Amino acid sequence: MSKVAALEADAFKITSEQSIEQLIEGFAVTEQLMDENLTTEDRLVVAEVRGWLMDELERRDAGAMEAWLETPEATIADLRSCFGEVA
């Protein structure tokens, strides 16, 4: 198994064990990180983590994820609302 495949497998295992609220909170943290003065390499890492979190949220409820993605200027509060979580 390649290093990338192993990392992706680990990410799937970790995200699959988290609650929806934990996934959303993790996504909120990545949003804050993207606002930081990061190197291009660090931004790519954060983007990859965001993708893993979004993949797991979509796996849990594709309709909720689609609703959030279609929300103009969607926020974390909108993400929580789409997944029925209390802000």
What are 23-46's pLDDT values in tens digits?
A: 999 999 999 999 889 999 999 999
30 in any annotated domain: yes
41 in any annotated domain: yes
Number of folded domains in the chain?
A: 1
87 in any annotated domain: no
pTM of the model: 0.87
- Residue 86 banded pLDDT, cuts 50, 70, 90: low
Q: Cα–Cα distance between 32 and 5 in angstroms, integer?
A: 27
Owning domain of residue 32? 3-82
Q: For the residues of the chain, what is the DSSP string, one character each?
A: --HHHHHHHHHHHHHHTS-HHHHHHHHHHHHHHHTS---HHHHHHHHHHHHHHHHHHHHH-HHHHHHHHTSTT--HHHHHHHTT---
